[in-house]
Amino acid sequence: MTPDVPSDRSRRPLARRQQLLDAAAWTFARKGYRAAAVSDIIDRAHVARGTFYLYFDSKEQVFLAIIEDFHERIKTMLDEAERPVPLAEHHGEAMLHRNFCRWLELFAAHRDRAAVILKEATSIDARFAPGATRLRELALEYFAGRFKRLQARGLVNPLLSPELVAHLQMAMVEELVNAFVLSDTRVDLDDLAAQLAAFEWNGIRPDSNIART
């Protein structure tokens, strides 16, 4: 049986909603949430005001939708990260390199959304904090889970706390994203990920001297 394929008519609302999300992310990233207005979003999207209100009730709602949209993108990326990889990438440093590449490329591909969430979401209004917190918890859970699996396979130092390593990885990724990915600095993401992986590998490899006291 041939699977159902969405018709052009059914795809249009999704495409229009995505267009508005893209326009809102672009606007918030450049003007900030407080200074931006619905009129700025519809100007960027080249749609009528009525079209905006078909999909979102307010500026607040579209902001929350941006956070949720990025949350889904991260979940998709993490699902893909769990797929089998070539044997050559089973080495700890190679796995770190591949992992960091995925994160940096995700933020680079969705720079406006990343800027909005990292720089705006937690400081604007307490109502936006839960969404941003869920994103952070999802990433920390992934980092910690991955490190535990590497420990179980004897690929990293068994004495290190996975939760501590997860927080360190998260902090490094956030700092590099802010310093290089969200700035005007042009950087080779693969090389940046390789340097980050090499730096971390020196501390977590099985024969490292770091241990819990």
What are the CA-CA distances from residue 106 to residues 70, 73, 146, 182 (Å)? 10, 8, 18, 12
Is 165 domain-assigned? yes
pLDDT in tens, 142-151: 889 988 988 8
Give the number of other Cβ atoms within 10 Å of residue 119's Cβ.
16
Is 25 domain-assigned? no
pLDDT of residue 84: 57
Judge whether residue 21 has pLDDT over 90.
yes
Range of the domain at 139: 59-204
pLDDT mean over 79-90: 60
49 contact partners, CB below 8 Å, separation of at least 6:
38, 39, 42
Is 36 domain-assigned? no
187 contact partners, CB below 8 Å, separation of at least 6:
180, 181
Domain count, the chain: 1
CA–CA distance, 128 with 122 (Å, rounded to integer): 6
Is 9 domain-assigned? no
pLDDT of residue 128: 63
How many residues does this entry show for the chain?
Answer: 213
Is 12 domain-assigned? no
Least confident among 13-17, 70-74, 99-103, 185-189 = 185-189
User: For position 66, which CATH number holds?
Assistant: 1.10.357.10
Give the number of other Cβ atoms within 10 Å of residue 147's Cβ.
22
pLDDT in tens, 23-50: 999 999 999 888 999 999 999 999 999 9
Is 2 domain-assigned? no
Q: Give φ, ψ of 58 to 5 degrees.
A: -165, 170
Is 190 domain-assigned? yes
Is 151 domain-assigned? yes
